[in-house]
Structure 1
């Protein structure tokens, strides 16, 4: 059984269209310890809602799957990278990434406001006040419910 996740990206940095064009891509640059810990739990075959953040409107725009489990994020060792971290080394990596593969771009965005209107999603991390993680787990029932909203 796969696990289920929601991963956020700003569309001007990396969008669902970018993933569609590339077919698969590393998900690098995560620099929050809790989000990093979630990524380390991800396994090949896990399913992902792709969420566009820091835009209007913000929301879920498609689906992807994890095609490579967590491994050290080499961008943290690159002094020329925006994601460089002097404390992270190849011998003692602090940051990890996974590879994701495009599945589907949805015909319309499922906005955060729409998600918050659903009583079935009140326990979802995304809909809780102050939740700003870029990577978060979701339950199978949340995945299934959100998937049915799309089919309406």
Structure 2
């Protein structure tokens, strides 16, 4: 099993939305490096659900990958904010994965709190200029973050 961190703006899709739905597609990723991470995901992998572009940003809970990556068809949907007229049925470079809700933390573990936790010095999220929406998390980093989030 692998661990991940996936970012979403809570006014677009939040941990509460995932909890209400139970399962949902994680789509709309429009960065090649993040897309490659989605392709590496396997059913059963766990991810930290990170609320971004909000005040404060932080880890809101845990989700589980329930299926292998597949073509993200939102690029073809004219009504989608992720529509891109350059793509066709035979040319879909973006990927999506289906995810399920596992746990909502009692409180958001904020980005500032993450910066103060020992053991996260190499976490890609905390590196200057890191804007990836999907990134790997080591087992040690996962344990530090989940323990801190559950103690809130």
TM-score w.r.t. length of structure 1: 0.95
Quick check: 1:122 aligned with 2:142? no
Which residue of structure 1 aligns with residue 70 of structure 2? 71
Which residue of structure 2 aligns with residue 17 of structure 1? 16
Which residue of structure 1 aligns with residue 102 of structure 2? 103
Quick check: 1:48 aligned with 2:12? no
CA distance in 2, matches of 1:69, 1:130: 29
Unaligned residue ranges in structure 1 (runs of 5+) = none
Deviation of residue 9 (structure 1)? 0.6
The count of corresponding residues between Structure 1 and Structure 2 is 151
Which residue of structure 1 aligns with residue 111 of structure 2? 112
CA distance in 2, matches of 1:119, 1:143: 12
Which residue of structure 1 aligns with residue 36 of structure 2? 37
Unaligned residue ranges in structure 2 (runs of 5+) = none
CA distance in 1, matches of 2:94, 2:117: 34
Deviations 1:24-58 (A, max 9, x none): 00011111111111111111100010010011110
* CA contact 1:88–1:95 (8 Å) conserved in 2: no
Deviations 1:52-74 (A, max 9, x none): 00111100000010011100001
Which residue of structure 2 aligns with residue 81 of structure 1? 80
* Cα root mean square deviation, aligned: 1.1
Deviation of residue 87 (structure 1)? 2.9
Deviation of residue 135 (structure 1)? 0.8
Higher alpha-carbon deviation: 114-123 or 42-51: 114-123
Q: Does the residue aligned with 1:149 lie in a helix, a strand or coil?
A: helix
CA distance in 1, matches of 2:144, 2:118: 11
